[in-house]
């Protein structure tokens, strides 16, 4: 049994760094990194990551429970899988990140920052993820689910974001997200520096970032709220049929623009606790700063991840348009 979460929280290594149980072999690849490979042929190779932001604990607990059930043989493993607890230092401290947002460090962006534990971790995650996919069966389809929770409420509580890519988005990935009863899918319009953009662009994985509710401390999560995504992930890794969707048709959005903070006088025309997917009508001012006002350009737009406290030069929100 490898209790990845406890090992990570206690900054410990397992007694052995590899082994096997009925049905699969496992290998501990370093802090917060566990690889499991079925003994039988597999058709999918999957990265399941959480804790890129250290205070988003529910997805971390969800993955920890999946690992426990795999080792206890309560869950069959039919896909090759890499479990990633992304930012161990931030996880132990219960904070989003130490110095800089790790989910803006990928695709080599860590090289432009002052080198520290987080930039080193981002480099390690790129290397380990690349090796994991490269060492998998050549005909295995590559997937990456990066699990998060949001720092604010949302009018559409659970949703997924797809990295920008020029190839078509994968049908199975979309169907699995629909089966997980997500409320919305959001498609990026430009290259990014997220973990899922790295796995999609550089490693040709079918990738998605999932936002699954609000960030809470360890021990404060009601994991029953995450039952739908838990059921889907278990079905995916055991190659079982996906559950039937219970919600109305999923809504789809595309990113129309990013609002950049370019001066200290930057302000968003939203209350501090305004939820994700708040709306603006054409002509309404969304943000102000010394270079000029930012106004809604379309009949109706939605705002995602509004955060005026980001550093200058970083994104303070996404402007979305709904896809009919």
Give the CATH number of the domain where residue 297 resides: 2.40.50.630
Give the model confidence (pLDDT) of 262-288 as tens digits: 999 999 999 888 999 999 999 999 999
Q: Are 102 and 52 in contact (CB under 8 A)?
A: yes
**Residues 231, 177 share a domain:** yes
* Between residues 197 and 225, the one the model is more confident about: 197
Any domain includes 248: no
The pLDDT score that the predictor gives to residue 219 is 86
**162 touches 169 (CB < 8 A):** yes
pTM, rounded to two decimals: 0.95
List, for residues 177-207, the tens digit of each pLDDT value.
999 999 999 999 999 999 999 999 999 999 9
204 is in an annotated binding site: no
What are the catalytic residues? 211
The pLDDT confidence band at residue 311, using thresholds 50, 70 and 90, is confident
Residue 160: closest CA among 134, 129, 196, 130: 196
Average pLDDT over residues 255-268: 94
Number of domains the chain contains:
2
Angstrom distance (rounded) from CA 275 to CA 303: 9
Cα end-to-end span (Å), the chain: 48
Dihedral of the alpha carbons of 162, 164, 169, 175, in degrees to the nearest 10: 10
Q: Residue 47: is its pLDDT beyond 90?
A: yes
Are 200 and 165 within 8 A, CB to CB?
yes
The C-alpha angle with vertex 119 and arms to 201 and 55, in degrees rounded to 5, equals: 90
Examine the fold and report which residue of 203, 237, 271 is the final residue of a domain before the chain moves on. Answer: 237
160 and 121 within one domain: yes
Write out the residue range of the structural domain in which residue 278 sits.
256-323
Mean predicted confidence (pLDDT) in 217-226: 90
Look at residue 93 in the predicted model and tell me its pLDDT.
Answer: 96
Three-class DSSP category at 221: coil
Mean pLDDT, all residues of the chain: 95
**Is 250 a member of any domain?**
no
| pLDDT over 90 (residue 90) | yes
Residue 177's pLDDT is what?
Answer: 98
What pLDDT was estimated at residue 89? 97
Q: Which of 294-301's residues contact partners 24+ apart within 8 Å by CB, and which partners?
A: 294/259, 297/256, 297/257, 298/256, 301/256
**Do residue 139 and residue 272 come from a single domain?**
no
Containing 216, the helix (H) or strand (E) segment is none
Domain boundary among 183, 208, 237: 237
For residue 232, pLDDT over 90 is answered with yes
Whether residue 196 is found in the same domain as residue 286:
no
Q: Which of 177, 208, 227, 210 is nearest to 65 (CA)?
A: 227
Would the annotation count 56 as a binding residue? yes
Q: Is residue 106 predicted with pLDDT exceeding 90?
A: yes
If asked whether residues 214 and 272 sit together in one domain, one would say no
In this structure, is residue 55 part of a structural domain?
yes
Q: Please indicate, yes or no, whether residues 265 and 224 belong to a single structural domain of this protein.
A: no
The answer to whether residue 251 sits within a structural domain is: no
CATH number at residue 128: 3.40.630.10
Domain boundary among 183, 207, 237: 237
């Amino acid at each position: 049994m490898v209790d990845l979460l406890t090992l990570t929280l206690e900054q410990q290594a397992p007694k052995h760094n590899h082994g096997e149980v009925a049905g699969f072999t496992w290998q501990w690849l370093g802090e917060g990194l566990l690889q499991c490979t079925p003994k039988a042929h597999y058709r999918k190779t999957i990265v399941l990551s959480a804790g890129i932001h250290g205070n988003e604990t529910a997805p971390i607990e969800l993955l920890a429970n999946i690992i426990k059930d795999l080792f206890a043989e309560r869950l069959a493993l039919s896909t090759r899988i890499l479990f990633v607890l992304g930012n161990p230092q931030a996880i132990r401290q219960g904070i989003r990140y130490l110095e800089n947002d790790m989910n803006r460090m990928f695709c080599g962006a860590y090289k432009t920052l002052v080198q520290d534990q987080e930039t080193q971790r981002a480099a390690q995650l790129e290397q380990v993820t690349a090796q994991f996919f490269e060492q998998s069966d050549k005909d295995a389809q590559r997937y990456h689910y990066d699990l998060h929770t949001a720092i604010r409420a949302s009018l559409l509580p659970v949703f997924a974001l797809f990295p920008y890519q020029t190839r078509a988005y994968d049908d199975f990935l979309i169907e699995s997200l629909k089966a997980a009863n997500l409320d919305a899918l959001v498609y990026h319009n430009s290259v990014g520096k997220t973990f899922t953009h790295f796995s999609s662009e550089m490693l040709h994985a079918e990738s998605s970032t999932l936002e699954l509710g609000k960030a809470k401390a360890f021990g404060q999560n009601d994991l029953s709220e995450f039952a739908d995504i838990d059921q889907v992930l278990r079905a995916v890794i055991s190659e079982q049929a996906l559950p039937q969707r219970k919600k109305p048709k999923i809504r789809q959005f595309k990113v129309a623009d990013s609002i950049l903070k370019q001066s200290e006088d930057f302000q968003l025309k939203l209350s501090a606790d305004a939820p994700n997917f708040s709306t603006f009508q054409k002509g309404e001012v969304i943000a102000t700063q010394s270079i000029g006002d930012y106004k809604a350009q379309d009949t109706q737009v939605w705002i995602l991840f509004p955060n005026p406290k980001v550093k200058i030069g970083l994104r303070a929100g996404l402007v979305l348009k709904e896809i009919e």
